[in-house]
Chain A
């Protein structure tokens, strides 16, 4: 079945760029019915949608983060990636990637999540 797996550094220094990759297995990222999204969850808090991308490269971002976020896709590797610039301690969170239904806008399945801590 479809599986997603996040990868990337678990520790990022303040003011630097957070970079994560999500690898999709068990299915193709070139799905006409789905976006591929990133969601984050600060420790002990709720969920925040960061943005989503279609395999063609069309992307949608949360306006609260749009000035710092870039999501890209690599169809050859069946991966999509997240870059978040100028991070602060407030960006410390578990970052999840997930398949995003294009019509219904729900997320399923999700990756297991990866904790990224922003600290010097």
Chain B
């Protein structure tokens, strides 16, 4: 199985901050990576797929990038509605696997 390791597990931030979350794959997955946002008591929401493609309707302050087996989700200017937990998911092969999550909190 491909293991996905997210860091940090939590990050404290303020409105307007630039926030960066990292996900590392245990083996090469090319650009086969998705990012999700999950708010308390809600289902995850797809933000980015193919490492850097923004899902329709997602604000442009969200962006994704990759460097080898390291992937980054960046929120350029954190908004109040962005305080949530973020998960990465490798989409290269079965079994599909997720990172452990990063909680963005005040």
Contacts and interface: CB of A to CB of B under 8 A. Distances in A.
Q: Do A and B come from one complex?
A: yes
Interface of A: 46-49, 60, 62-64, 96, 98, 101, 104-113
Interface residues of B, number: 24
Contacts of A60: 94
B34 interface: yes
5 contacts: A48-B98, A104-B49, A107-B89, A111-B43, A112-B43
B95 A106 contact: no
Given A105-B91, A106-B34, A49 B98 contact: yes
B18 interface: no
Nearest to A112: B43
Given A62-B95, A108-B55, A47 B87 contact: yes
Contacts, number: 57
Contact of A104 (B36, B91, B100): B91
A61 to B, nearest CB: 8
Nearest to B53: A104
Given A46-B100, A47-B87, A105-B32, A110 B45 contact: yes
Contacts of B96: 49, 105
Contacts of B44: 47, 96, 107, 110
A72 to B, nearest CB: 19
B46 interface: yes
Contacts of A107: 34, 36, 44, 46, 89
The 10 closest A-B pairs by CB, nearest first: A105-B91, A110-B43, A108-B46, A47-B98, A49-B96, A106-B34, A62-B95, A106-B49, A46-B100, A113-B43
Contacts of A96: 43-44
Given A106-B34, A112-B43, A113-B43, A49 B49 contact: no
B101 A46 contact: yes
B94 A46 contact: no
Q: Which of B32, B43, B89, B100 has the most CB of A within 10 A?
A: B43
Given A49-B96, A63-B1, 19 more contacts: A46-B87, A47-B87, A47-B89, A47-B101, A60-B94, A62-B94, A63-B95, A96-B44, A98-B43, A105-B91, A105-B92, A106-B89, A106-B91, A107-B36, A107-B44, A107-B46, A110-B44, A112-B43, A113-B43
